[in-house]
Each structure stands twice: as C-alpha cells, then as structure tokens.
Structure 1
C-alpha cells in the first residue's frame, strides 16, 4: 500500500503548470494562444519594415523571423533549462515597447542601414539586460497584492483598445469600423459565451479557438474573408542570419534601446507575477530571474535572425485565465506552432487571413478576464487605513493615462515617452514606488494618516480566537462555521452551561440555543 502511495505522489504534478495534457490537446490549446497573439507578433515587423522602406518580400522575412524566434523563445520560457525560463505558461513575442524608439532610429538613419543600427542596439541592450536580470528580479518583494492586483487589472484594461481595434477591422480598409465588422466581432463573442456554457469541459476550454474558426467560416460565407493570398509566396523558408547585413553599433541608439529593455523587463516581471497569481502557483525572485534571463537571451539572439526584442505577451495571460488551462506544455506547443509558421510561410499566411473582427470578439472575453482577475486580487487588500486606496487609485490612473490620451507625453523626452507611454509599465512603476512610500517606509506615517482613511484600526482580544476555526466567517451579524452552519453566540458566563446541555442532547439546534439564552444577534 505504501508503494502505491509513493508512486502516486511521484507522478502527480507538484505545481499546476506542470500538468501534461498530451501532444494532441497541448497543440490544440496552443493554437488558441497563437491565434490570440498572432496579430500582435506580426504587427511590429510590418510597422518597422514599412518605415524602413522594405518591399513585400523583405518585410515577409521580418515577419517569418519574428514568428521563428518568438516560438523558440516561448519554448525556452515555458520548458526552461537551468537558470533560463520561468517554466510558466508565458508566450513570447516581439515587444511593442520598442516601436517608438526604433522609428526614431530609422528617422535618423533611414533604410536598411537604419535597420542594422536597430539590430546592433537590440543586441547590446539585451546583453546588458541579461546581466542585470538577477538584480532586477529582487523587486518581487515589492509586488504584494496591492501592487500585483493593480498590474493585472491594468494589463486587462490597457488591452481593451486592442480588442476594439481588432473588432473594427484592418486599418485603411474601407470597411474599417463598419457595422458588419463589429457585428462579426459580436457574433464571435456570442459563440465564445455559448461554447463556454456547454457541459463539455473540452469544448468549453477550446471555446476561443472554435469561436474564431466558426466566425471565420461565417465571414467567408458572407464574402468578408479573403484567402486568395495564401498561395502567393514561398511555401518553405528558413531565416537567413544577418539577411540585411551585420549589425551597426551606435551609442545613442543603444542607450535608447536600453531604456526600452528596462521597460520590457518591468512588463515581463508584471506578466510573470500576473500569470503566477492566475495559475495559483508560487513565484519568487529566482523564478523571475530565470524568466528575465530567458527574455534577454532571446532578445540578444533575435538580431542574428533579423528580428527585435522579445517579451511575454499579456494577451495570453487572459487566455490562461479564461480557459483554466495552466499547463506550460500547452504554451510550449504554441511555441512549436510559431516555429513551424516561421519555417512555413504558407501556414502563416493562412493564419494571417483570419479576419481581425474574429480576434476582436474573442479579445473582449480574454482581456476582460485579465482585468477581472486583477480586481479579484485587489478585493483581498486591506483598505482600512486608506493608504492602499491611494496606491490603487493613483497607480490605476497613471496606467490609464496612455490609454485614454495616447498623446499625453508627446512633448516629453523620448525616454519618458518610452517608460510612461506603456500603461502597464506606468502602473507597475507607480504602484511599486507608492507601495514603498506608504507601506515600506515608516517615517512620516501614522495609522489612519491618509485623508482617505475611512475609520480607525480595530483591536480584537486574542482570547476570543480560541473557539474559532479556519473558515469561520461573520455574515450579517451571524457567525457562520466553515461547514456553512450557524454557530450560536451566548454570553461569556453561560458558555460552559450551553456546551454541557448540547453534549447531553438537551439542546439540539442553534435556534433552541438562541431561544433559551435569548442570544439571537438579530
């Protein structure tokens, strides 16, 4: 009997993220992750390729490289090796944080030469980030629930414009923002909700993927999906190292990109903390350091294969929350799919042909779920002194400023635009600093010192805790036990007598005790 128990213990995952679902299910759930982040991962190479004046074929090289490296980075981050990888369900891809800096570099050095300057800046700045990763990871102690809750909520809220943009359709398309596009997004959202309601767990967990497929079929039948370009271009292609020439190293470009690296490290830290909360698994400084090192190593290697900085994608944190699939092997499956898409451009063109309104409808559920997870974390924060209320209020406001007013920091130096222009990094930095000010530093503070304080702190006698058990709660003035049954409350001097009468069977229910001792709290 003992041997059987030991065997069970040896095969049972100790962490929820270590659950293995098999190859087929891992790839199916992984495809959901790829569809969720595909638009984001190809957007950056499309933007930079256009700004650099590349033709369609050369821009396609950037797109394939982004998928290929992003897939490898995802596998490294989720599977992990010693000192590399957080071993969490985190999908990696090209970071949006560096777009503004890269466009600035291209303005000063246009064309392919500017692209080589970008690659040189990414390489050096990422190598520096790799060295700093263990020190940067120490910030985990500054991510209590009041901070992590703000970050998770902000991730969800700041991604809502992405879902809205997808729902409206492609920019520049005549149908952008049309009722038809938004209607398709609403239809996809409805399918997600209906599939989530069905009794089958497998269908419910695949609701995002199935809804996108069903929505795409409907769009095709209505003539609003175009797959004519799938057959154009090469079927197979391997990223050629230094396709555009060797990297060029310019000090100003490296400095600007290093600021971007600090921002991406902040965002990745926030994503690691967020997915740890959602997956209900432990995240410590060692795990964050491993995750950041994987991030930075991938970013350092990225220029070799003609792509840019890598970071964890916040979109996919929402997918973990909505599906409940916490397995890191599912995300590794997504990485395999991305690598294949990078090596088989024809498959990438099939995925790219999925109309964006389908992604928009699914994104509303995904990103809303992330925000709801953050709100759930914030619900457990102690607000009685009012100081934590200030932390949440100001941090959320700072995170929302770039969302509601994208040009707010337009007149500021570029490094400030990079740091505060991302709602996630702005909220994270603000929450960490305010938490240190109000909760870590003792000077200048006293209980109830905040103008937001609702009431003074309460003191509870230790002796009164002796009769309570884990899970007992007070509801509407009544004490409810962990088993859901009401616990009778009587005057102190009558407790022994009441217990004796219960033990002898004289009193058999809570109502009797209340009537005998007139102790009904209501």
Structure 2
C-alpha cells in the first residue's frame, strides 16, 4: 500500500476541484505542447507546406491525447494509472530522418507503427527483466532524464549556441520567468504553488511580446490559422521498408527505456515509502505507449513517448492526480481541432520554454539522486553508474564525435540519455557475472566482535545494493541472536573453546534472508512482549525480551531443529 507524500496536495487518485483541475491541466498542457516542436521539425524535414504541416501537428496532438488518456486511465491492463502525459520525443528524430529520405512521411508512419508493435511486445516481458532494472539503475534512469531535460532547458533559457550577445536577450526573458516560477513555488503558499509554472508561462508570453520575441511573421501565421479545422486521419498514407527494421527496433528499445524511467519517476513521486520499481505497473505503462504509437502511425501523427518533464512538474507543484493527466489528454484532442491554438503554442518564446523545463528538471534530477543514494553500492555498482554517466556527459561535451558513428547506431547515441541508459543496462548485466544471490560464511561467536559482524553484513549489503535501513535491521537482529546464543551457552563448544556457527544470506530484490545454523540448543522465540515484572523477576526475563526484540526487527523469524540435530534460525527482512 502506497504512503501519501506529505508535500502532495492532490494525490494520484484524488480529483481536484473543477477550477483547479482546469488550471492544472492547462499548466501541464503548456509543458507538453513544448515538445510539439519535434513534429514541426519533422514537417520541415519533409518540406511540408503550411497546411500540411498544421495537419501533421493536429494529428500528432490527437495521438498524444489518446496516449495520455490511456496512460493515466490505467484500465484493463493498459496504462500505469499515473499522471504521465505523452508527447513527441527527440528519440524519433534520427530514424525519422532515414525514413523521410527513403520514403517520405508514409514510410515514417509505417515504421513508427512497427515500432509501436514492438514496444507492445516488450511490455509483456519487461517484468522478466527485473534483474536488469534494480532500484539504483531505475534511479539513474530518472536522474539522466532529468539531466537531459535540464540541458535542453539551459540552452533555451540563455540561448546557448546563439550568436554573440544573444544570450543577454534570452536571459532578459528566461531568468525573470524562472524567478517567477521559483518564487511562486517557494513563497506562494499551498494554492499558488500549484499554478507556479502556468503563472510563469503567462508572464513569459507577456514579457516576450514586450521584448519583441513574437516576430511579425509569427503574428501573421497566428492570424492566418483557422480557428477550427477538421483533422484528416490517415491522409499521409503508410509504407514499410525492411531495410529500416534495425534503426526502428533500436528506437523501440530506446522508447521502452524512456517509459521505464517516466513511470518509475511517477511511482517514486506518489509513494513516500517507495522501495523499488513495480515492473508489472511499468509493463502496463509501456503497453499504453506501444498502443499509442500504433495509433499514431495509423492516423498519420508523430510517435509518442511518456514525458518525465510532466512528472517533474507534478512533483514541483504538489499535484500528481491522474485526473490532471486525463484533462491534458482531453485538451490535446479537443484543441487539435483548432490550428490557431496549435500555432499560438508553437510560437512560445524559447526562453519561456527553458524556464518551464528547468523547474521540472530540478525535481527529476533530485528524485533520481535520492533513489540512487537510498541503496548501498559496492565497486561494481559504482563502475556501472560512473562509466555510464561519463559517456552520457561525453555525448553532451562532444556531440560531433557521436554524430560521426554509423547511422544504425544513432538512436542509441542520439542524446546523453540514450547513451548513458544503454550503457548502464549493458554494464549492469555484464558486471552481474560472478555475483551470486547467496553467500555462506562460518563464524566463531566465542571470538566474534560487533565490528566483525558489521563488516560481514555491510559487505553483503553493498554487493546487492540493499537499503542501509535494511542492513541496519539485519545487523541489529543478528547481534541480538549472537548475544543470546553466546551468553546462554546455546552453541556447542568445540576444541580450543571455539563455538562455530554458519551464517547464510540470500537476497532476491524483495527479501533479505539470513539463516543461522549451529549445533546446540534451539532458540525459543517470544511472540508477545514480556511485562516489566517478568523481565525483572524471571531468571529468563532478559532472554525473553531479547527474543521478542529480534522478532520486532525482522519481518519474519522461524526457529527449528533440522534432521541431524542442527539448530536453525531463519530471519527474513523486507528489502
């Protein structure tokens, strides 16, 4: 059962009041609409005229609306049920360029449909890949998604890559907008915090107009765009080319990893006691994305992917209700019938876009760091995360090198996110070789110190990336067990005064189990706490109290005598 985070105003299954729902939906719609620039980019790559380009954007909005509704509704095994809107993604740009060059939009939509089918297939087996996505890897994916969002945000915010002197023009709009968003989030109180990004975007439009960011051509396009127009699904056609299978297979895998990160971030945001990814729920989220991409290909819209930026915004505002996502989906579908609205969104000043993305990216990055730091890491895990991060940053520092790699590799190296996530999964799978889920060690409790026990347990915790809190409980319970056995002479003494026992540990991502085996007297476990009088007056009082405390620290304790007279104590801890 998920525990409600204290900073959340509207939780996942709570429906906000009507006015709040409308405003929050508009706020997220504005963020999602930013990514429609991908469909505009594809329209320009395909050399479409204004009418065809507007039609492509409208059909893409319909696909995004349907994808968002399926994802947030979470019914019939389809969708995660979290507020994870869908939008276009830059993951699609490298293979889209190949498809457009070879067969135009029909080939792009046909191959996108194929990718959607493959994503649907991957959703049915993702739960079997749980060892590839332990908690620290899921946290790394969320961290890199947030970092990617923030990189895009900084570029838009201060005009990185623009002509000399342009950064002042960008910063003159972007920094005040960011200040408004942060100010309302931090000092605006519970209510205004909910709408901090929406307030910032509205302020940004006004400031952008005053600073001359809306060019006469932008205004002309806005005036010429019709208020209402009927989209024409399927008007671009479909085609298929076996030579493009590999790049679109890679695209499907990259989009699947993106969904893993987005849904994981949503799970973490909605549960104060979150421990690890729910792969079943993630699989349902991936399935919704796959269905959405099949639908997008059929109607002639650009493919869709879950957006973690909206998850970050929901955390920043304290509103993670899936009803907001349903509102966003409804707005996307409804406003797709208005080219004028679509045009107004597409002329949003870049510094305003950067400020909105920055605010959501901050929370994603910190969520990812919190998830990673919640686990104990040994040298293997440190190498996995460190090398993947280094190459992801390398893609940022020297993009030209990665652009020179073969075309079929471009979906894997098209962004810092795809580079780092691909590497982290491959390295994790490779360095798992030789890492068992069981360990066995023989100890002599006659000479065992607390420091030695701590070293043994901590080493296993780091090897398996267990939570520090879990390791603390294991260490405390084992110390109590060993004290009981030693002080009450319950372990048979051998030559030289040795009192040996065997400690076996087992880890399966969900449970940390410890089995203590020895020759001697069995340990009797106490189900109820002894009274103060029983503790003070009964000769066995302290032993009974210690036995009771062991049961309190472990989630399950079982003491038995095996065939051959060996005693066994099994302690299980939820990891």
| Shared fold, TM over 0.5 | yes
Equivalent of 1:22 in 4, 17, 22: 17
Give the Cα–Cα distance (whole angstroms) in 2 for the partners of residues 348 and 464 of structure 1. Answer: 65
Partner in structure 1 of residue 28 of structure 2: 33
Structure 1 position 352 matched with structure 2 position 343: no
Aligned residue for 2:12, secondary structure, equals: helix
Give the Cα–Cα distance (whole angstroms) in 2 for the partners of residues 416 and 238 of structure 1. Answer: 39
Contact 1:150 1:395 survives alignment (8 Å):
no
Shift of 1:92: 0.5
Shift of 1:440: 6.8
Partner in structure 2 of residue 146 of structure 1: 136
Equivalent of 1:156 in 141, 146, 156: 146
Contact 1:169 1:176 survives alignment (8 Å):
no
Shift of 1:185: 0.5
Shift of 1:199: 5.0
Structure 1 position 108 matched with structure 2 position 102: yes
Give the Cα–Cα distance (whole angstroms) in 2 for the partners of residues 345 and 175 of structure 1. Answer: 35
Deviation sequence 1:291-334 (CA, Å, 0-9, x none): 11111111111122211221101221221221121111111111
Contact 1:122 1:300 survives alignment (8 Å):
yes
Deviation sequence 1:326-381 (CA, Å, 0-9, x none): 11111111111111221112222222333221121222222122111111122212
Partner in structure 2 of residue 479 of structure 1: none
Structure 1 pair 200–242 and aligned structure 2 pair: CA distance change class (3 A) = same
Give the Cα–Cα distance (whole angstroms) in 2 for the partners of residues 48 and 414 of structure 1. Answer: 18
Contact 2:94 2:414 survives alignment (8 Å):
no
Deviation sequence 1:165-190 (CA, Å, 0-9, x none): 32246998x89933122121000111
Structure 1 position 418 matched with structure 2 position 408: no
Partner in structure 2 of residue 10 of structure 1: none
Partner in structure 2 of residue 478 of structure 1: none
Structure 1 pair 417–181 and aligned structure 2 pair: CA distance change class (3 A) = same
Q: Select the structure that is richer in strand.
A: 2
Give the Cα–Cα distance (whole angstroms) in 2 for the partners of residues 26 and 394 of structure 1. Answer: 43
Partner in structure 2 of residue 371 of structure 1: 365
Structure 1 position 50 matched with structure 2 position 39: no
Contact 1:321 1:373 survives alignment (8 Å):
no
Contact 2:225 2:343 survives alignment (8 Å):
no
Q: Mapping of 1:149-228 within 5 angstroms? A: 149-168=139-158, 177-225=166-214, 228=219
Partner in structure 1 of residue 53 of structure 2: 59
Give the Cα–Cα distance (whole angstroms) in 1 for the partners of residues 393 and 331 of structure 2. Answer: 34
Give the Cα–Cα distance (whole angstroms) in 2 for the partners of residues 353 and 95 of structure 1. Answer: 19
Shift of 1:279: 2.2
Higher relative contact order (CA 8 A, sep 6+): 1
Partner in structure 1 of residue 121 of structure 2: 131
Give the Cα–Cα distance (whole angstroms) in 2 for the partners of residues 202 and 26 of structure 1. Answer: 12
**Unpaired runs of 5+ in structure 2?**
1-7, 441-453, 459-474, 482-531, 537-575
Equivalent of 2:258 in 264, 267, 279: 267
Contact 2:138 2:264 survives alignment (8 Å):
yes
Shift of 1:446: 9.8
State the superposition RMSD in angstroms: 3.0
Give the Cα–Cα distance (whole angstroms) in 1 for the partners of residues 167 and 422 of structure 2. Answer: 38
More deviation, 428-437/254-263: 428-437
Give the Cα–Cα distance (whole angstroms) in 2 for the partners of residues 230 and 94 of structure 1. Answer: 22
Find the structure with the greater CA-based Rg: 2
Give the Cα–Cα distance (whole angstroms) in 2 for the partners of residues 394 and 446 of structure 1. Answer: 27
Q: Mapping of 1:392-407 within 5 angstroms? A: 392-407=385-400
Contact 1:118 1:253 survives alignment (8 Å):
no
Partner in structure 2 of residue 515 of structure 1: none
More deviation, 223-232/76-85: 223-232
Give the Cα–Cα distance (whole angstroms) in 1 for the partners of residues 476 and 50 of structure 2. Answer: 73
**Unpaired runs of 5+ in structure 1?**
1-12, 448-454, 467-495, 501-522
Structure 1 pair 31–83 and aligned structure 2 pair: CA distance change class (3 A) = same
Partner in structure 2 of residue 408 of structure 1: 401
Aligned residues: 441
Give the Cα–Cα distance (whole angstroms) in 1 for the partners of residues 455 and 241 of structure 2. Answer: 57
Partner in structure 2 of residue 508 of structure 1: none
Shift of 1:251: 1.0
Shift of 1:142: 2.9
Partner in structure 2 of residue 326 of structure 1: 320
Give the Cα–Cα distance (whole angstroms) in 2 for the partners of residues 175 and 397 of structure 1. Answer: 29
Shift of 1:30: 1.7
